[in-house]
Amino acid sequence: MKVNRVQELWKNQQAAIGGWLTIANSFPAEIMAHQGWDVLTIDMQHGLVNASELVPMLTAISTTDVTPFVRVPWLDPGIIMKVLDSGSYGVICPMINTREDAERLVSYCRYAPQGTRSFGPRRAVLYAGEDYAQHANETILTFAMIETQKALDNLDEIVTVEGLDAVFVGPSDLGLSLGYTPGNYEEPVLLEAIESILKKAHSQGIRAGIYSYTAKFARRMIELGFDYVVISSDARLMVSQAQQVLEEIRIK
């Protein structure tokens, strides 16, 4: 089975740098796969990507050696198993708030006896190889999004769930849940929460990832110890550069 390069990076003490795909089309996905990201995550939650566009986008990423992850819309076994059958090497699941949530997530991502994933990796075998069934349980990464006060309250119970590979911080939702405006990442209480999540994850030997809007914040998070940082998204990159170009042309 094709190795999960994020696992390799982690073995070498390196953080994985991730891009984020919100446009439902294989062409921008293939372009992004040529830019130098370690990981590309297809965002089926807030991104405008649905099941019908998932496979062409995963296929586009598979023309390179970038590792494909998917953020699923919700903790739903139907879509999580579809994402895995389609060849994703990581599942980022939003709103994991309790131990039971985390256990369900792991269970949906693992074949028996570790879990309850149903067998039928139609496209995954094309991407990963014919021995997929033998190695999928150890190769596919599971990320529990920690993004509410409730999840913070239950964090000890979440990070100790057998088979969970990592937590992933959604700073906008976490900030919102703590009472701040989404997008503001500099609130001390929020930063403190982020740091405590990282520590709890590491203390249990699991990894921690985080979403960020800027390279600067992402670097800070790597320096803090995060194992996986996401910077911006396809759409946001386009908007930033469009703003820059239009300012340059419009301003006298």
* Contacts to its own copies from residues 21-60, by CB under 8 A: 22-28, 30-32, 34-37, 45-48, 50-53, 55-56, 59-60
Q: Does 63 bind its own copies (CB under 8 A)?
A: yes
Q: Does 238 bind its own copies (CB under 8 A)?
A: yes
Q: Is-contact 186 203, C-beta < 8 A?
A: no
Q: How many residues does the chain have?
A: 252
Q: Does 98 bind its own copies (CB under 8 A)?
A: no
Q: Which amino acid is at 44?
A: M
Coil vs helix vs strand at 93: strand
Which one of 34, 46, 135, 202 is the catalytic residue? Answer: 46
Of the pair 131, 203, the CB lying nearest its own copies is at 131
DSSP designation for 118 = P
Of the pair 111, 204, the CB lying nearest its own copies is at 111
Helix axes 51-61, 77-85, angle to 10 degrees: 30
Stretch that binds its own copies, among 105-113, 159-167, 185-193, 194-202 (CB under 8 A): 105-113
Of the pair 99, 219, the CB lying nearest its own copies is at 219
Interface characters, 134-163, with its own copies (x: CB under 8 A)? -------------xx---------------
Q: Is-contact 236 245, C-beta < 8 A?
A: no
Establish whether 46 is a catalytic residue: yes
**CA quadruple 238, 241, 244, 246: dihedral, nearest 10:** -50
Name beta bridge partners: 70: 42, 91
- Sign (positive/negative) of CA torsion 35, 17, 166, 182? negative
Q: Does 13 bind its own copies (CB under 8 A)?
A: no
Q: CA-CA distance, 102 to 107, in Å (whole number)?
A: 9
Q: Does 167 bind its own copies (CB under 8 A)?
A: no
Q: Does 179 bind its own copies (CB under 8 A)?
A: yes
| Other CB atoms within 10 Å distance of the CB of residue 9 | 18
Among 8, 14, 65, 119, binds its own copies (CB under 8 A): 119
Q: Does 127 bind its own copies (CB under 8 A)?
A: yes
Of the pair 8, 36, the CB lying nearest its own copies is at 36
Of the pair 186, 205, the CB lying nearest its own copies is at 186
Q: Which of residues 184-213 bind its own copies (CB under 8 A)?
A: none
Among 2, 77, 204, 224, binds its own copies (CB under 8 A): 77
Q: CA-CA distance, 175 to 177, in Å (whole number)?
A: 5
Q: Which residue has the tokens 């992933």?
A: 168
Separation in Å, CA 20 to CA 79, 80, 109, 188, 214 = 19, 18, 21, 26, 13
Of the pair 160, 220, the CB lying nearest its own copies is at 220
| CB of 236 vs its own copies, minimal distance in Å | 8
Q: What is the set of active-site residues?
A: 46
